[in-house]
Chain A
Amino acid sequence: MNDLLTIKGLTVRFHIYEGIAPALQDLDLAIGQKETFGLVGETGCGKTLTALAILRLIPPPGKIESGTIMFNANGGSEPVDLLALSEPDMRSLRGSRISMIFQEPSAALNPVFTIGDQIAEAILLHRPEEVYQQAADAVDQRLANAAGPVSILARPVWSVERRLYRQLARNPESVWLKFVGRVPLVRRLLWRISVEAEKMAAEALKDVEIPDAARVVRQYPHQLSGGMKQRAVIAMALACCPKLLIADEPTTSLDVTIEAQILELLRKLKVDTEASILYITHDLAVAAQICDRVGVMYSGTLCEVATAEEMYGNPLHPYTKALLAAVPKPGVEPSPIRGFIPDPLSLPPGCRFHPRCDYATEMCSKETPTMREVTPGHLVACHV
């Protein structure tokens, strides 16, 4: 059992006025360590919902009805069930162990805060000790190098500062230090925290290959281009070294050349940070370029899971085949899938794809197919 994340029988339903819409139905999914797992499918098939379910951020009236999401944060030790965690525990996981890159970078960033502020927020929330330690070290440096008449006056202040930062680093939850942080004038002794956090934010930006990071931390989102914003969002997601990075269509709103840059960056970061990536996309071509394994979703269920080579070389599910045929490829005419995605309120019985399927039989309209392993690592949910 060394998978990072194992989802078993996840069911999400939306209780709305017109009825109950099963948005996800008995979803089984496993993401290994250091793996890029691609989740592809059309609009409304539940890709983003799966990601939100992992973070337990499903908006009401949606509800997680059943299932388990086992998350193995520390490698060897026993995994935890994310659905059984308390809300404060979940909060400390979000953004630190599991973080998410959203589709629209301009919507994910707050327009009234600088890029540096927003990255620093994540850092201060999830690893404040390091910031305090760095601040203490900075004062240490000051004390060691100080010389001249000014330093004689400043020395006592710096010593107090150093003590404060050290105490904070040892015990970030300390109540009386929190009190100090609120008292006017005394509060100013803690000014280094924001300076150090900004420095760390600049480091994070440098990691995502933003040129001139020191300037960018002080800029507002509207001053950056789309590609730069997406890099900043990635930097924010990676600021706390997550084990699992959920990327929800990170390149959909970008140009191909910028998309290629971002994909290259993600590929590199994955090697550097040893994180797993859950890559959600509707673009099969992008998934082919970046993913190790790919899962195809249709109307709330997974219909095929395989390695990328296997999926594109030997697709087994009729929906996967149809989807691959619909992608424009050089020299090949794209062939459309007939019909439309079913309405989640009135799903067809049996296999959900059968009204649009060319291979459908009597059985398909009666029984729901279950996942079976055809060859090692290649799972298909289809009767045919």
Chain B
Amino acid sequence: MEALVEVRHLKTHFPILKGLFRRPAGAVRAVDDINLAIRREQWMGLVGESGCGKTTLGKTIIRLLRPTSGHIYLGAPSDAIAEIESLEHSRDGHHRLKALRREHDLATFSGKRIKGVRRRMQLVHQDPYTSLNPRMKIRDIVAEPLAVHGIMRGKQASERVANILRLVGLSEQHMARYPHQFSGGQRQRVAIARALATNPEFIVFDEPTSALDVSVQAQILDLLKHLKAEEHLTYLYITHNLSVAETVCDSIAVMYLGKIVEMGTALEIFHSPRHPYTQALVLSTPIPDPKTKRVRIILPGEVPSPANPPTGCRFHPRCSRATEECRSTEPTLEAKEGSRLFACWHPLE
């Protein structure tokens, strides 16, 4: 299965400006050298604590943010990606490399080209209370992407909006209402409808259910599952809730301080984590059963600042298995056994 979205060595740094001339005095390394491949019709989960760079990664992939370096491909042929990779390492062929990147690499796109590609990928924000304009009617909110991309307008657009609203479990009568007349779950449905308006292939969900109740959350997850099957969508699902990720995602990537520390299928991540951070995350996720008393691993301290990450393995100050090796050299994300990817010197068995 070919990858729809492919991210290579992606870095997004935010400069810290200091002094009279606002010179950069350092950088917040929100996303630091990330490789990620999402197959067509895959539901990829991205989990991690707040401040680990999940949202930045999501926003960089759909190019709401400009990456500092790296490549982003959306449906690019694999031989082109391979050629870019090989040209980067060789000394000559600059022009060929530049031309290829212009053609395929989203990181180099700007202006009209980015607008063209944005039709194919959309974002659903975290909080449906702030992501919908309170002064626009639902019809206008959902039809806005259609107008922006010049797809359709007027009556035709209204018909399309009605269809999409039906698809997400709302009805035509809702079109003339304003966002404040809806509950949180319904608002999130409107936000999803807006994302679907341009018929995208790839949608990034940035914690779509964290502001909702469990019963509504289950409704939304159910909806997403149906939409994915009907519209053949590919999802990147950003969440901090590991149990949600486990129930809905095909595979999960665990992020810590701008890096992916472990990747695997949902079952593998949840039942046999290899990275100590993943294990700590899994074990600190509360489960609704008072009888199962788990060995709790309480991580000491908090996530360090991404402006000044620890040397070596970024997790070592909080890790119980840390050794001298972890302090000095940084482990890389490698497929060590089979398809499991993890970045740790002392993985769990």
- A326-B218, A333-B247, A334-B221 are known contacts. Are A256 and B281 too (CB-CB below 8 A)? yes
Are B288 and A329 in contact, CB atoms less than 8 angstroms apart?
yes
- B320 touches A (CB below 8 Å): no
Binding site secondary structure of chain B: helix
User: Among residues 331 to 355 in chain A, which have CB atoms less than 8 Å away from a CB atom of chain B?
Assistant: 331-337, 340-341
- B side interface size, CB within 8 A: 38
* Residue from the list A257, A322, A333 in contact with B281, Cβ < 8 A: A257
* Assembled-state Cα–Cα distance A291/B290 (Å): 9
Q: How far is the CB of A93 from chain B (nearest CB, A)?
A: 32
Residues of B within 8 Å of A312, CB to CB, are 288-291
- B214 touches A (CB below 8 Å): yes
Residues of B within 8 Å of A66, CB to CB, are none
Q: How far is the CB of B271 from chain A (nearest CB, A)?
A: 8
* Assembled-state Cα–Cα distance A290/B139 (Å): 45
* Assembled-state Cα–Cα distance A327/B247 (Å): 10
Are B298 and A337 in contact, CB atoms less than 8 angstroms apart?
no
Q: How far is the CB of B314 from chain A (nearest CB, A)?
A: 15
* Assembled-state Cα–Cα distance A329/B281 (Å): 15
User: Among residues 213 to 237 in chain B, which have CB atoms less than 8 Å away from a CB atom of chain A?
Assistant: 213-219, 221-222
* Residue from the list A258, A264, A287, A328 in contact with B244, Cβ < 8 A: A328
Instruction: Report the contact-size class of chain A (Cβ under 8 Å from the partner).
Output: 35 or more
Are B240 and A256 in contact, CB atoms less than 8 angstroms apart?
yes
* Residue from the list A258, A284, A291, A331 in contact with B302, Cβ < 8 A: A258
* Residue from the list A255, A260, A323 in contact with B215, Cβ < 8 A: A323
- A285-B243, A312-B289, A335-B218 are known contacts. Are A330 and B284 too (CB-CB below 8 A)? no
- A43 touches B (CB below 8 Å): yes
Number of A-B residue pairs, CB cutoff 8 Å, is 124
Residues of A within 8 Å of B243, CB to CB, are 285, 327-330
Residues of B within 8 Å of A361, CB to CB, are none
Are A330 and B296 in contact, CB atoms less than 8 angstroms apart?
no
* Assembled-state Cα–Cα distance A341/B185 (Å): 11
* Assembled-state Cα–Cα distance A284/B290 (Å): 10
Q: How far is the CB of B281 from chain A (nearest CB, A)?
A: 6
Residues of B within 8 Å of A340, CB to CB, are 183, 185
Are B298 and A264 in contact, CB atoms less than 8 angstroms apart?
yes
Residue from the set A42, A312, A336 with the largest chain B CB neighbour count within 10 Å: A336
- A257-B281, A334-B247, A336-B222 are known contacts. Are A43 and B290 too (CB-CB below 8 A)? no
- A244 touches B (CB below 8 Å): no
* Assembled-state Cα–Cα distance A283/B210 (Å): 11
Residues of B within 8 Å of A226, CB to CB, are 50
- B280 touches A (CB below 8 Å): yes
Which residues of A does B touch, CB under 8 Å?
42-43, 225-228, 255-261, 263-264, 282-289, 291, 308-309, 312-313, 322-337, 340-341
Which residues of B does A touch, CB under 8 Å?
49-50, 183-185, 213-219, 221-222, 240-244, 246-248, 270-271, 280-281, 284-291, 296, 298-299, 302
